[in-house]
Amino acid sequence: DGRCHSSPVCHYRRSGAQTHVVFRTHTHTGDIHPTPPFFFGGEGGVLYHADDTNACAERYKVGHPLAVLEYLHDDDRVVIVTRSVLLIQFNLNHEGAVVNETKTKLSCGPNPETITGVWASGSGG
């Protein structure tokens, strides 16, 4: 509004704390998305895909709370690391279905619940 207060545009009622969000900036046409859709998830171990028109759908169920959620624009890839130290990567096809999924169990020492991280990737993956 005019007083520099933010006001919610959409409400997405999901159980548990939603602790992570990333915007899906890639478009298959190469255009810049004026209002990009986004992924969010958290304690429930479910990743949702939503937009500013109140559309919201469960896109991926990992079953463990999220520790890291990243989005790689060049590859249109989502990267998740769970609190149970499972690394998951996938892309979405034109219809929004999960493709090219990989899962890897990580080893991180005696305190996996404290894992944090940032995914770094060069052009092309």
Q: Report the alpha-carbon distance of residue 47 to residue 4 in Å, rounded.
A: 31
| Tokens coding 56 | 């919201």
pLDDT at 15: 75
| Tokens coding 71 | 């989005």
Q: What is the pLDDT of residues 6-47, one digit of tens each?
A: 666 667 777 788 889 999 887 777 777 778 889 999 999 999
- For the chain, give every domain's residue range: 18-114
> CA geometry: angle at 25 spanning 20 and 30, to 5°?
165
Rg (CA), the chain: 15
pLDDT at 6: 67
Whether this prediction's pTM lies above 0.95 is answered by no
